[in-house]
A and B are shown apart, each in its own frame.
Chain A
Amino acid sequence: MSEQPVLHVDNVSKRFGSLVAVRDVSLTVGKGELRAVIGPNGAGKTTFFNLISGFFPPSAGKIIFDDRDVTRLSAQQRVKLGMGRTFQITEIFPELSVFENVRVATEVANGYGLRPWLSKTESADLRRRIDEVIAMTGLSARADRLVGELAHGDQRAAEIAMALALRPHLLLLDEPTAGMGDQETYEITQLIRKLHKDSNLTIVLIEHDMRVVFHLADRITVLDQGKLLAQGTPQEIAANEAVQAAYLGKAA
């Protein structure tokens, strides 16, 4: 893990009317790092995530991605710069097959979004890349199934596959194990771990399941009531009294 930051969030805040959902939060994620953002319900995790991915702009503060100020850029522009994300409630194209889901993501990533046709080599390369991404997420056997008919865990994997097809420098995962049973949680955790190790992918994830967080994360950021409560390695966070009081004490 080198210390060249991929993502630097500098004192961002987000207000919705009189509600301050996120208050002066900073965070720096190095290349190849896997960072978990945790916090009790209503801590502002999802809002914070939406600020990073450009779902809406912050009320104050700056977001630097790959040495570029992206604070005012739209979600689409950030995707172009290499930010891929998944959602807490799986966002997929349910009536398309796994292959078709990944195909459209790959086509867009390759800059073919407006193309009326592809050359033979382009479509062969595209095909290879689609198969590669599907294989990375372990969905090869189910490539022709409709995503809407898959088990929840596989839908998640398909969503991650779409994000990977964009060749992201930074992968944002919003509660990847939300609503999953033990077996599915285990599988998706293994998948994230494999992507992180094999591709040295930089990942920021929000997660509720503490087993997953402590198993995966290089560093953990704890939010509470919109504020930064603590930041550190899993060991440091486990030993942090303020965190235990605010969160672990209640949850675990």
Chain B
Amino acid sequence: MRLAVVAGMWILLALAPFWMPFLGGYTALGTRVLVLALAAMSVNFLLGFTGVLSFGHAAWFGLGAYGCGLSLKFLAFSTPLGLLMGTLLGGVAGALLGALMVHRRGVYFAMVTIAFGQVFYYIAFQWSSLTGGDDGLRGFARQPIELGFLRFDILHDDRAFYYFVLICFAIIVSIMGFILRSPFGHTLIAIRENERRARFLGIPIERHIWIAFTLSCFFMAFAGSLYALVNNFADPRGLHYSLSGDFVIMAVMGGMRSFWGPLLGAVLFEVLQDYISSVTVNWMSFIGMLVVVVVLFFPRGILGLVRQPRAA
């Protein structure tokens, strides 16, 4: 049953460029949704499966975007290199700063993550000679992928780019799922469920949270790198804590205890934003109302409803 649902989801994603136009969607929207869903799932890797709320994860997302953009602009016209550089920049920064943060818990942790996130926001904002400041980083574009015998023109062909992003999404999401099913993943869920019990099983809590945080930052930075490719652009808003909040909203709305919840949350968030913002500039207040409804009536998110209720 569960397998059939997941298979159906992949088929829907794989065929998206063909059915979306009938519902008023377009391929580029699908691509954007996938990238943001990947980011929301990265946030949820930490929030839903380790029980740690980061409110500054946009920092690693934005660093990924800048890393990718700068690499394409100054290093080489290579999409894979851009993705690698972006992922490394955000991931390594996350790993280093994470080591300072993991000794805090709950609200204090959330505050520290916001604070560090805003530091990067202001650096990107001020350092205009490198980052373009408030205008954002321009002057780069994703490059076609050359596999020798095959050439994906992801720059000009929207569908090719969608499938490129879908493959990236599938790879990262598989890695996440694999980790969560491993003995290490089991310790993360144990920490989420009951930190004191986990400590008295002999799990070194801080070290495990740090590893989970670091992994999550790498996933996040990869999503950010893809985001730079989507827009051929990176700007300080990609680092801002309000974007971190959007990712948390996607995860909570879709269902943070379920693996695919944030994907559903991201679809809803982006599609609603796309439709409502064509009617009113106050689209966020509609999303806000939806979040309030979800949190009040389905605290486990939308996918939390579908799955059988677990222990009280």
B204 contacts A76, CB within 8 Å?
Answer: yes
B residues near A104, Cβ cutoff 8 Å: 183, 186-187, 189-190, 201
A116 contacts B179, CB within 8 Å?
Answer: yes
Residues from 143 to 177 in A contacting B, C-beta threshold 8 Å: 146-149, 162, 166
B183 contacts A91, CB within 8 Å?
Answer: no
Q: Is B243 an interface residue (CB 8 A)?
A: no
B190 contacts A116, CB within 8 Å?
Answer: no
B182 contacts A116, CB within 8 Å?
Answer: yes
Name the distance in Å between A142's Cβ and chain B's nearest Cβ. Answer: 13
- State the CA gap A96–B187 with chains docked (Å): 12
Known: A113-B183, A115-B184. A76 touches B193 (CB 8 A): no
Q: Which of A85, A95, A103, A113 contacts B200 (CB 8 A)?
A: A85
Q: Is A118 an interface residue (CB 8 A)?
A: yes
Binary A-proximity of B275-312 (CB < 8 A = 1, otherwise 0): 00000000000000000000000000000000000111
Total count of chain B residues near the partner, CB < 8 A: 24
Name the distance in Å between B182's Cβ and chain A's nearest Cβ. Answer: 5
Nearest chain B residue, comparing its CB with the CB of A114: B184
Q: Is B208 an interface residue (CB 8 A)?
A: yes
B310 contacts A108, CB within 8 Å?
Answer: no
Q: Which of A80, A100, A115 contacts B202 (CB 8 A)?
A: A80
User: Counting chain A CB atoms within 10 Å of each CB, which of B179, B197, B202, B312 scores highest?
Assistant: B202
Q: Is A186 an interface residue (CB 8 A)?
A: no
A residues near B182, Cβ cutoff 8 Å: 115-118
Nearest chain B residue, comparing its CB with the CB of A53: B200
B residues near A94, Cβ cutoff 8 Å: 193-194, 311
Residues from 123 to 155 in A contacting B, C-beta threshold 8 Å: 146-149
B203 contacts A113, CB within 8 Å?
Answer: yes
Q: Which of B179, B193, B202, B211 contacts A79 (CB 8 A)?
A: B202
**Majority SS at the chain B contact face:** helix
A residues near B187, Cβ cutoff 8 Å: 104, 107-108, 113
B189 contacts A91, CB within 8 Å?
Answer: no
Name the distance in Å between A226's Cβ and chain B's nearest Cβ. Answer: 24
Q: Is B178 an interface residue (CB 8 A)?
A: yes
Q: Which of A87, A96, A108, A147 contacts B203 (CB 8 A)?
A: A108
Q: Is B196 an interface residue (CB 8 A)?
A: yes
Name the distance in Å between A120's Cβ and chain B's nearest Cβ. Answer: 14
Nearest chain A residue, comparing its CB with the CB of B193: A93
Q: Is A12 an interface residue (CB 8 A)?
A: no
Q: Is B199 an interface residue (CB 8 A)?
A: yes
A residues near B203, Cβ cutoff 8 Å: 76, 108, 113
B311 contacts A146, CB within 8 Å?
Answer: yes
B residues near A162, Cβ cutoff 8 Å: 197, 201
Nearest chain A residue, comparing its CB with the CB of B202: A79
Q: Which of B196, B201, B204 contacts A166 (CB 8 A)?
A: B201
B residues near A84, Cβ cutoff 8 Å: 200
Name the distance in Å between B158's Cβ and chain A's nearest Cβ. Answer: 36
Q: Which of A91, A95, A113, A117 contacts B310 (CB 8 A)?
A: A95
Q: Is A191 an interface residue (CB 8 A)?
A: no
- State the CA gap A148–B197 with chains docked (Å): 14
- State the CA gap A108–B197 with chains docked (Å): 12
A residues near B183, Cβ cutoff 8 Å: 104, 107, 112-116, 118
B194 contacts A100, CB within 8 Å?
Answer: no
A residues near B179, Cβ cutoff 8 Å: 116
A residues near B200, Cβ cutoff 8 Å: 53, 75, 79, 84-85, 87, 91
- State the CA gap A147–B311 with chains docked (Å): 8
A149 contacts B311, CB within 8 Å?
Answer: yes
B residues near A91, Cβ cutoff 8 Å: 194, 196-197, 200
Name the distance in Å between A111's Cβ and chain B's nearest Cβ. Answer: 10
- State the CA gap A84–B178 with chains docked (Å): 30
Name the distance in Å between A209's Cβ and chain B's nearest Cβ. Answer: 23
A residues near B204, Cβ cutoff 8 Å: 76, 113
Known: A95-B311, A96-B189. A76 touches B199 (CB 8 A): yes
Known: A94-B193, A108-B187. A75 touches B199 (CB 8 A): yes
- State the CA gap A167–B13 with chains docked (Å): 47
CB-defined A-B contacts under 8 Å, sample of 13: A75-B200, A76-B203, A80-B202, A85-B200, A87-B197, A91-B194, A94-B193, A94-B311, A95-B193, A108-B187, A108-B201, A109-B201, A148-B311
Chain A residues in the interface with B (C-beta under 8 A):
53, 75-76, 79-80, 84-85, 87, 91-96, 100, 103-105, 107-109, 112-118, 146-149, 162, 166
Chain B residues in the interface with A (C-beta under 8 A):
178-179, 182-184, 186-187, 189-190, 193-194, 196-197, 199-204, 208, 211, 310-312
Given A79-B200, A146-B310, 13 more A-B residue pairs with CB atoms under 8 Å apart are A76-B203, A76-B204, A91-B194, A91-B200, A93-B189, A95-B311, A104-B190, A107-B186, A109-B202, A115-B183, A117-B182, A146-B311, A148-B312
